Structure 1
Amino acid sequence: MKLFKKITIVVLVLIVLFLLGGYFYFQKKFTPTENYLTVSGTAENIPLRWIPSDENSHSALLFPVKIKGTNRTFYMQFDSGSATTVFYKNALESIAKKFPNQIKMNAKEMELSTHFTIGKMKIISNTFEVLDYGKKIDFDNPNAENIIGTIGTDLLEKRVTILDFKNNKCSFVEQMEEKGFLNFEFKKRKILITAKLDHENLKLLYDSGTSGYELITQKEIWKKYKNPKSPIKTEKGNSWGNTLDVFSASANKQMLFGNSAVQISEVTYIEGTSELQKFLMKRSGMQGMIGNKLFLNHKLILDCKNEKFKLE
């Protein structure tokens, strides 16, 4: 009997240690690094640029940027699903060849020390992460997109961000009067907004990396929201090099953010995401993701530092 009790206690201790180990693993893995950005100045009425795909005219959203020591305009994709601003190695190597001694990249540590500007706003860091990703710069084509990296929510944490989709412009200001603003969660630099759909409150991740979609949700919920006789549009998606199967159908729903109503004309679900991603979504309580397309006729103002937002 005593042996049985000892075995039970040992098993319980092992289970507790396993759960604690799992908790700390996930905390470390999905907690973003410290925000190392130093930001000065502001940017106002910066033109937005959209990347179209075969099926989607708003597949990705780009901000124009300039790198210190160069005289060219490059672009960085805005991804509010990314907690950090990162650069792409292949693009940086092209710039380094064209502008010698201007790119200080530590290839071993995959880090970059530089500053770039958006309008009159300067963003500086000695430890920008560099990903083995991207394409070479096409210096001969003045209309080339020339994407050199991704802008994450670490920048949004430093400024009030105004995304004026109606007029295709954006601004980054230090502060503004916050009348009529609503609360949102900014956990681990993820933007979690509560909205109401069919009299149900939904916690939604604003992920501008899924730019061209209005509402992405689970297949079961997708079936409930889509129009019953809608044809299903299928396409291939890309998530950092991983191919995903994307299914969209027409919808006729209204989503409420406080008193502001937004029309949903399409709802989407995705196959090909990892089991880990599905697990994390369930654990976070999220019912879906919303992209830029949902706000095309609106102005979205985000104050991530104070966890306030407004939709106009």
Structure 2
Amino acid sequence: MKPALKIVAALVSLLFLSGIGGYFYVRKMYEAPANQLQIARLPVASSFVWLADTQGTRPVAHAALLVPVVVPGCAQTCYLQFDSGAPYSLLYSHPLTALQQQYPAMRLAYTAGHDTVTDFQFGLGNGQITSRSIQVRPMGARQLPAPDSKNYLIIGTLGTDIMDGRVLLIDYARQQFRLSTAIPDSLTQRLAFVPLSFESRRVQLTPELQGKPQQLLFDTGSSAFALLTSESTWQDLAKAGAPVQAASVNSWGKKLTSYTVPSTAQLGFDNQTIPLGTVTHIEGTTFFQNVLMRFSGMGGMLGNEPFANQIIVLDVKGRRFGILQPN
């Protein structure tokens, strides 16, 4: 073989092997850690509240979905942001430190600067949940809100580990959150289903978009948006001539820029369709985040907004996602 051909062959082999290595590296990074949650007293029923915010000059009424929780020894109601894009639950160090100072009876197994809490317990509705080990990140408010203020005491994120092997019902219109082992018989025949994947505890749906099946990550953590997708798909789904709204977005401490535009696209769920409303793409994501989305097979991230007047059921056991228009 000629030297030039040998070099080309070597480069092709290197790229091939690098691609394989990169694939397994990304898959490893994408995997969820072992589930640490134990849940007693199912079914669990709770209300939830919306956290309002602003994006640029636009007010956002549904910026985050918060579920109230009761922590032993704490006299204030605490909240966890339910984030179906997070494969595990976690706590925020700053409010934890403030809570320990205000309520010594909490007796958390947490020391400032450490990254885990062991045997963390909290009540959700009528249920009792224990995490054998839960991660702590340096986030959150450093001061506790006054008991009579309208601010919420947000102590962490509730991830999809809460859903593992179970059924989650979210009634957006009535702001109800219900966790059980099976879909209520009264709802089964009325739901329109599409396939649901729960690989590595990430909720991926396959509704129709523009008449074609499209795999989307259901991410309540991006609840201020209807659909986050690539710039090319954003251009395809955007309403012609519609104004584009740019806004600054905070993603885990990093500033990004979102571009949102109205869309006439419809999401199809079996025999039902719902309007998408808007579509968004974001500038500032990293190369690794883009590669991660490509390897996961996702066409975008679907938020809460399209379901604002729906009841949705995430049947992890049955690998299906259902929607229902409430009576």
Same fold (TM over 0.5): yes
Q: Which of 175, 179, 189 pairs up with 2:182?
A: 175
Deviation at 1:295, TM superposition (A): 0.5
Aligned to 1:46: 46
* Separation in structure 2 between the aligned mates of residue 234 and residue 156 of structure 1, nearest angstrom: 34
| Segment drifting more, 145-154 vs 265-274 | 265-274
* Separation in structure 1 between the aligned mates of residue 311 and residue 198 of structure 2, nearest angstrom: 19
* Separation in structure 1 between the aligned mates of residue 321 and residue 308 of structure 2, nearest angstrom: 16
Q: Which of 110, 113, 133 pairs up with 1:105?
A: 110
Deviation at 1:136, TM superposition (A): 2.3
Deviation at 1:186, TM superposition (A): 1.0
Aligned to 2:91: 87
Structure 2 unaligned spans of 5+: none
1:258 corresponds to 2:270:
yes
% same residue: 30
* Separation in structure 2 between the aligned mates of residue 268 and residue 131 of structure 1, nearest angstrom: 28
Alignment map for 1:129-208 (pairs within 5 Å)? 129-142=135-148, 143-176=150-183, 177=185, 178-179=188-189, 181-208=193-220
| Segment drifting more, 172-181 vs 88-97 | 172-181
| Segment drifting more, 119-128 vs 1-10 | 1-10
* Separation in structure 2 between the aligned mates of residue 103 and residue 64 of structure 1, nearest angstrom: 19
Deviation at 1:210, TM superposition (A): 0.5
- One-letter code aligned to 1:166: A
Over 3 Å counting, the alpha-carbon distance change for 1:106 and 1:15 in structure 2 is farther
Q: Deviations over 1:246-299 (max 9, x none)?
A: 111112222101122111221111111111111121222221111011100100
1:75 corresponds to 2:79:
yes
Question: 3-state DSSP class of the match of 2:206?
Answer: strand
Question: 3-state DSSP class of the match of 1:238?
Answer: strand
- One-letter code aligned to 1:223: Q
Contact 1:138–1:144, Cα closer than 8 Å, also in 2: no
Deviation at 1:175, TM superposition (A): 2.0
* Separation in structure 2 between the aligned mates of residue 265 and residue 13 of structure 1, nearest angstrom: 46
Contact 2:44–2:124, Cα closer than 8 Å, also in 1: no
Deviation at 1:6, TM superposition (A): 9.5
Aligned to 2:121: 115
Over 3 Å counting, the alpha-carbon distance change for 1:137 and 1:212 in structure 2 is same
- One-letter code aligned to 2:268: L
Aligned to 1:231: 243
* Separation in structure 2 between the aligned mates of residue 51 and residue 22 of structure 1, nearest angstrom: 38
Structure 1 unaligned spans of 5+: none
TM-score by length of 1: 0.91
* Separation in structure 1 between the aligned mates of residue 47 and residue 289 of structure 2, nearest angstrom: 33
- One-letter code aligned to 2:181: E
1:300 corresponds to 2:307:
no
* Separation in structure 2 between the aligned mates of residue 224 and residue 10 of structure 1, nearest angstrom: 40
Question: 3-state DSSP class of the match of 2:27?
Answer: helix
Q: Deviations over 1:153-196 (max 9, x none)?
A: 01111531110002111111122345454421111111110111
Contact 1:216–1:269, Cα closer than 8 Å, also in 2: yes
Over 3 Å counting, the alpha-carbon distance change for 1:30 and 1:106 in structure 2 is farther
Contact 1:207–1:291, Cα closer than 8 Å, also in 2: yes
Aligned to 2:222: 210
Deviation at 1:11, TM superposition (A): 6.9
TM-score by length of 2: 0.87
Contact 2:53–2:61, Cα closer than 8 Å, also in 1: yes
Contact 1:214–1:292, Cα closer than 8 Å, also in 2: yes
